[in-house]
Structure 1
Amino acid sequence: MNRNQLHDQNLKFVLQQIFNNHPTSRIEISHQLNLNKSTVSSLYNTLMSAGYLTELGLGEASTAGGRKPTLVEISQDYGYTLTFDLGYRHLHALVTRLNGRVSKYDRIDTKGKTIHEMVDRINEYIGQIQKQDTTSNGLLGICFSIHGIVLNNQVKTSPFIDMDGVDLEKIFSMAYQVPVVLENEANLSAIYERDFNGAHGLNSTVTISIHRGIGAGIILHRDLFRGEHGDAGEIGRSVASIEMDADGQPRFMHAEDISSEDAIIQKVEEQKGLKDLDRDAIVRLYREEDPETLVILKAFSTAIGGLIYNTMKTLDPDAFFLNSPLVEEIPDLLKQIRSVYQTLANDHVNIDVTQNARLATVLGGCSLITHRVLGLDNYELNFERPTTEPVG
């Protein structure tokens, strides 16, 4: 590297250190990066003059004595990012400061709305946030969580929302002159597990997202794996069974046809002759020990356990996480899923539920867009998980 390249790399290392170890000090950064004090001071001053940092006062002197160090962290008043999860029924909106701390979350009803109406609602929401904003630089970037396949920052397929040719990156980057990033919602759930939960000390993980469909976010050797065409993790489309119809032709059943939330709701409705059920109704029926519902959810647990087994044999990760509000509401399902896996594999792998599943995708989006805004796409950043759910 030439001198300029080395300077830029060291600047990013210093910024990463401050983000991950707040509050910290110049002397601590010097020790961690093995850079001399004058180099760190120069890089520190560059970041400070750009407004990225805020000083908090003096810390404790070292045991050897000497001057007390000045503590510093990323400035929460520099600006903010926005993440939107384009769900089928709701638009989830999250506002986070540059230091990764959540300042606002809203869930907006969009059931039956077209993508054009959703875009209008997003613009309206951004306008409201801008009016309330008191930061120095305002909106810094936007991330969109997509329930479909994303390739080259474009929506490749969207099974639940008709995109009607809408180019989200073009519309919002032109309107607000900020970076706009699109990512699959299961991938964002996997990023959330990696970046918000102390990294679990794990190298490779698979997060299985179970909602209207089923998808997987794959982290291999700490990096998100998307595949060559963005299709990696589309395990809901894997063939779960093959049946022959009356004409002797094969009929393929996919995993999400059997064990997605929509599939469960449809089966319960058919068995009980009911209509317009939702997840809450399924949970209620389970707690009431409704016989038909118990059988259907037992089949769900068996199918998910088998899906984890197949994925384990393909990718061999350190652990699995289930981003499933249904499993989060009914912990016994997790026990059943673990039991099915152990019966198949005759060994143990860590299988846990994603905590606070409703916010997992938007928090993963917060990480993705914060990396982009800071110019740290290939650097590890550690975020603090909200201890309480933010409200609008």
Structure 2
Amino acid sequence: MNKSDQITMRDHNQRLVLQALFNAKETSRAQIAVDLNLHKSTISSIYRDLDKLEFIEDLGEGVTTETGGRKAKMIRFNRKYGYVMSFDMGRHHLRMALVRLSGEVIFQSSDSVKDMSVLEVLELMNQHVKDNKHKKHGTKEGLMGIAVGIHGVVDNNRVVYSPFFDYSQVDVTQQLEKVSDVKVTLENEANSAAVYIRDYHDYLSTDQYDSLVALNIHYGIGAGIIIQG
């Protein structure tokens, strides 16, 4: 394997380890090695790099197994690494939330946008961004991205159709990225709800949901569908 392939493989393995850390309430290097079928030395090397970047939170020693042996050092993704700002652009409301990468809400607000144009709503969103973009809110890196829930059809990060606002002359992504200097992602609000339930809802350990439907009932009915993960 040449050096370029080695770098590509290491980057791939690092992403897998980050994903394993993010999805686990708590885990250990040994458990990650088992889950990902990677050699322990590979996991240890990646762990050291991620720990230096403060991606990892140390939870202390785990419990001893029935067979005894050394207690594992429990770790998880650093929930306070950064946060995202999320918007819900409804018919009569603009909801905003600051959310840690763990899904924990730091702050939330709701503004009435009744009889406002999409440009006026966008200006309100810009103000929320300006008020928070330089604040870290107890995290290491501060604002890392913006997510916007659209009541309508979204394709390639642009609004194709919405029954509530005319987006034809407005590029929401471009406007918010210009103000915030972070990546902005637009998605249908029901699809966003489905992803949130899949990734953050605290299911009982015995429950497994490979497929789900998230229904949002308001001035219309939206459905976000996830099939087999």
Corresponding position of 2:213: 206
Q: Does 2:129 match 1:126?
A: yes
Count of residues in correspondence between the two structures? 222
Where structure 2 has 5 or more consecutive residues not aligned to the other structure, the ranges are none
Structure 2 equivalent of residue 163 of structure 1: 167
Distance (Å, rounded) in 1 between the aligned partners of 2:196 and 2:138: 27
Q: Does 1:103 align with 2:110?
A: no
Task: Answer with 1 or 2: which has the greater Rg.
Answer: 1
SS at match of 1:78: coil
Alignment check: 8 A CA contact 1:58 1:71 kept: yes
| Equivalent of residue 14 in structure 2, options 7, 11, 14 | 11
What's 1:293 paired with? none
Contact 2:23/2:199 (<8 A) preserved: no
Shift in Å at residue 172 of structure 1?
1.6
Residue of structure 2 in register with 1:215 after alignment: 222
Higher helix share: 1
- Choose which of 103, 109, 114 in structure 1 pairs with 2:117: 114
Separation in structure 2 between the aligned mates of residue 147 and residue 119 of structure 1, nearest angstrom: 15
List aligned pairs for 1:332-347, cutoff 5 A: none
Residue 88 (structure 1) aligned with residue 91 (structure 2):
yes
Contact 2:190/2:216 (8 A) holds in 1:
yes
State the identity as a percent: 39
**Shift in Å at residue 35 of structure 1?**
2.0
User: What is the CA-CA distance between 1:12 and the residue it aligns to?
Assistant: 1.7
Instruction: Report SS of the residue matched to 1:201.
Output: coil
**CA RMSD of superposed structures (Å):** 2.3
Deviations 1:17-36 (A, max 9, x none): 21222222212222222222
1:186 aligns with 2:190: yes
With over 3 angstroms needed to count, the CA separation of the structure-2 counterparts of 1:41 and 1:221, relative to structure 1, is same
**CA shift for structure 1 position 97:** 1.0
Would the alpha carbon gap of residues 110 and 23 (structure 1) be closer, same or farther in structure 2, given more than 3 Å must change?
Answer: same
The residue matched to 2:102 in structure 1 has which SS? coil
Q: Deviations over 1:107-161 (max 9, x none)?
A: 2222122222222222222233344633221110111000111111001112111
SS at match of 1:182: strand
Q: Which amino acid aligns with 1:211?
A: H
8 Å contact from structure 2 (residues 136, 143) kept in 1:
no
Q: Which residue number corresponds to residue 177 of structure 1?
A: 181
Question: Which structure carries more relative contact order (alpha carbon 8 Å, separation 6+)?
Answer: 1
Deviations 1:255-306 (A, max 9, x none): xxxxxxxxxxxxxxxxxxxxxxxxxxxxxxxxxxxxxxxxxxxxxxxxxxxx
Secondary structure in 1 matching 2:126: helix
Name the one with the larger strand percent: 2
1:145 aligns with 2:149: yes
TM-score by structure 1 length?
A: 0.52
Please name the residue that 2:38 is paired with. 35
Alignment correspondent of 2:199: 195
Name 1:21's counterpart in structure 2.
Answer: 24
Residue in structure 1 matching 2:75, options 72, 77, 82: 72
CA distance, structure 1, for counterparts of residue 66 and residue 75 of structure 2: 20
User: Structure 1: any 5+ residue segments left out of the alignment?
Assistant: 223-392
- How does the TM-score come out when normalised to structure 2? 0.85
Give the Cα separation in 2 of the matches to 1:221 and 1:22. 22
Preserved CA contact (<8 Å) 1:153 1:183? yes
Q: Do the aligned residues in 2 keep the contact of 1:115 with 1:164 (CA within 8 Å)?
A: no
SS in 1 for 2:166: coil
What CA distance in whole angstroms lies between the structure 2 residues aligned with 1:77 and 1:221? Answer: 30
